[in-house]
Amino acid sequence: MRATLMFGAGDVRVENVPDPELRQPTDAIVRVVRTCICGSDLHPYHTQPASADGVRMGHEFLGVVEDLGSEVSGLKRGDLVVAPFAFSDNTCEFCREGLHTSCTSGGFFSEAQSEALRVPQAQGTLVKLPVAEDSELLPSLLTLADVYGTGYHAAVKAGVNERTTVTVIGDGAVGLLAVLSAKQLGAERIILMGRHQTRTDLGREFGATDVVAERGEEGIAKVRELTGGFGTHTVLEAVGYRAAYDQAVGVVRPGGVISRVGVPQYEEAPVGFGSLFGPNITLNGGPAPVRAYIDALLPDVLDGRVEPGKVFDRTVTLDEVPDGYRAMDDRESLKVLVRP
Amino acid sequence: MRATLMFGAGDVRVENVPDPELRQPTDAIVRVVRTCICGSDLHPYHTQPASADGVRMGHEFLGVVEDLGSEVSGLKRGDLVVAPFAFSDNTCEFCREGLHTSCTSGGFFSEAQSEALRVPQAQGTLVKLPVAEDSELLPSLLTLADVYGTGYHAAVKAGVNERTTVTVIGDGAVGLLAVLSAKQLGAERIILMGRHQTRTDLGREFGATDVVAERGEEGIAKVRELTGGFGTHTVLEAVGYRAAYDQAVGVVRPGGVISRVGVPQYEEAPVGFGSLFGPNITLNGGPAPVRAYIDALLPDVLDGRVEPGKVFDRTVTLDEVPDGYRAMDDRESLKVLVRP
């Protein structure tokens, strides 16, 4: 079958690879119906060391169950399913606490930009979708695999509610869906920091009340000006660069929360008296336990009350995936949907 | 009057200074009945640059109101009062949220190791104590000014309750009172990391169920061993050195909280995928808004149900304060009470 491999920074190819096979009785094989390229895929696209064998790519997919291990129940061949970007048994102590990304039998998918893949812990991981393979809802349903759940995680961890003001840093798919999530959780004032107008326009459609295009000190000053000088109660950081962290520290209100879901491209950052400690700022977030949110988010997607799939602005075939990476990296495309 | 001044690292003197005077109609003058030396005073004791004029010291006190500005109500001359280490108006939007350390009219005391001092925002700051000036409860009541409220803040911010396991890092007064606070909030498993047995013995008396004397990687391994390999849900960091931060990251359970109240002696620290982000750790804490907790903590102190004053193991006169600093710095004394 065909699958996407990255052979180094900027070097994405679609090649023939062996078909996936069941290895554990808890596995399933899923034929991919929709997958996509993630903003976080651009990090290795910039930094991946060159390798002869390449590395399989992709962690977001929905598809049809083709085969099932003997210990998987509740699913059957032909089911249309969506998977969170992390697989998990959904029964361990961390899963029971809603932290599926720390599942003791879990891990992260990395082979989804392909025709098919093996799904470990299939019973705990896959969620059956009550629609047909040709449903117009597929793009929105695919966002449950990562970007919608990730934006929602940012808003939940920040404690967004009707009394909290919100700044969202980043106008990528996760940032825009953090706006949507904050709105769903009742926020009335949502400031979106982003400088690509087509994206921030979608942010306004999702619920942003203000857009700040400036960055760095200028952007911080603007947010403070909009919030009586103090910044917002919550800051949802959906970028992952150190500059975004510094911006978050600059716009968060004393006693507030910085919730990060952009994968940090740094290890150390300011946390001392002059940044987090003095004003009693909370820093949280991490890889979103998307599995924990699918059940809650699914009904509004099925009803069409929300349309998170609007973040997809281009659709490609599997063979066109390399150009999809290029388009996202060039900011020509916000998020690329793939129909294998 | 006599007051403590620090003229540089290791150079503490008690000298004559002008008597305090009312400056604002919201001020009070308080004669100090008890003050003390704080673990955080040892940081400048190690690092303060030399100066000709010296810097006034001390932020913990209880005393008797001697004079009041025209706009202070609810207090009268002769009242015995305790003050949180930060003064605040108790009415601004941050005070109303319980974040008195970020009061828009607030600040930190720094002249309490003396015979008397001026108290800004007296009405919002001072809390009347229903005991006499010779009460045996004074040491415990004095801990409401800082160390007890600070330990309590650590436990509250960490979300300690009967279902959370707790690690307390540091066997200083704040660490020990973080143990006491965690116990009050219902924690059943409290691991105290400290290596001074007289102190950890008091920690056990306050509620610690386990003591880990090892530090660094060895200490981390010990705590993990005690907790099924995962660490504790909450970590209360009451030291402030970077090594204590690293230890906190090492012993916190995925999805857990590191709550810091030790004043950070570092600005940058790891917060990336390998430390906080990957396992969805929350980092919070800061200077404790002690004023917010006094009303809740006072009854148990008055009833003798808790005796936080046990952290004082030496009492000195004002003129003996320099030796008190030395004794605390030499670990000869846990916490020094001062009777001016």
Exposed, middle or buried: residue A163 (CB in 10 Å: 0-12, 13-18, 19+)? exposed
Cβ contact B279–A286 (<8 Å): yes
Taking only the tens place, the pLDDT of each residue in B52-106 is 999 999 999 999 999 999 999 999 999 999 999 999 999 999 999 999 999 999 9
Across A194-219, average pLDDT:
97
According to DSSP, the β-strands at B252-260 and B282-285 are parallel
Q: Quote the mean pLDDT of chain A.
A: 97
List the single residue in A with minimal CA-CA distance to B158: A282
Taking only the tens place, the pLDDT of each residue in B194-222 is 999 999 999 999 999 999 999 999 999 99
Chain B nearest-CA distance from A100, in A, is: 10
Please tell me the total number of residues recorded for chain A in this structure.
340
Cβ contact B277–A287 (<8 Å): yes
pLDDT of residue A202: 98
Mutate: best of A97, A280, A283, A284, partner B, most B CBs <10 A: A280
Percent of chain B beyond pLDDT 90? 100
Across A89-105, average pLDDT:
97
Taking only the tens place, the pLDDT of each residue in B21-32 is 999 999 999 999
pLDDT of residue B191: 98
Residues 6+ apart with CB under 8 A from B94: A254, A255, B100, B102, B103, B104
Across A229-246, average pLDDT:
97
Across B236-247, average pLDDT:
97
* Three-state DSSP class for residue A288: coil
Chain B nearest-CA distance from A253, in A, is: 10
Tokens of B223: 């705590």
* Three-state DSSP class for residue B142: helix
Across A36-62, average pLDDT:
96
For residue B271, which residues of chain A lie inside 8 Å, CB to CB?
245, 264, 267-269, 271, 283
Cβ contact A280–B286 (<8 Å): yes
* Three-state DSSP class for residue A118: strand
Residue A278: which pLDDT band, with cuts at 50, 70 and 90?
Answer: very high
* Three-state DSSP class for residue B257: strand
Closest C-alpha among A59, A54, A47, A57 to residue A10: A47
Taking only the tens place, the pLDDT of each residue in B263-275 is 999 999 999 999 9
Across B13-26, average pLDDT:
98
pLDDT of residue A76: 98
Across A217-242, average pLDDT:
97
pLDDT of residue B330: 96
Torsion over CA: A253, A254, A259, A260 (sign) = positive
Q: Which of A269, A272, A284 sits opposite B264 (nearest CB)?
A: A272
According to DSSP, the β-strands at B2-8 and B11-16 are antiparallel
pLDDT of residue A23: 98
Taking only the tens place, the pLDDT of each residue in A104-118 is 999 999 999 999 999
Instruction: Report ipTM for this prediction.
Output: 0.97
Closest C-alpha among B187, B201, B116 to residue B156: B187
Tokens of B62: 């209880």
Cβ contact A264–B279 (<8 Å): no
Tokens 């950081």: give the residue: A237
Q: Quote the mean pLDDT of chain B.
A: 97
Across A145-168, average pLDDT:
98
Q: For chain B, which residues lie within 8 Å of any Cβ of chain A, measuring from their own Cβ?
A: 94, 97, 99, 101-102, 157, 245, 254-255, 260, 263-264, 266-287, 289
Across A275-299, average pLDDT:
98
Tokens 């396992």: give the residue: B279
**In this complex, how many residue pairs, one in chain A and one in chain B, have their CB atoms less than 8 Å apart?**
112
For residue A254, which residues of chain B lie inside 8 Å, CB to CB?
94, 99, 102
pTM for the full predicted model: 0.97
Q: Are B277 and A267 within 8 A, CB to CB?
A: no
CA–CA gap between residue B120 and residue B23 (Å, rounded): 9
Q: Which of A101, A271, A273 sits opposite B280 (nearest CB)?
A: A101
For residue B276, which residues of chain A lie inside 8 Å, CB to CB?
283, 286
Q: Are A12 and A4 within 8 A, CB to CB?
A: yes
For residue B267, which residues of chain A lie inside 8 Å, CB to CB?
270-275
List the single residue in A with minimal CA-CA distance to B265: A272
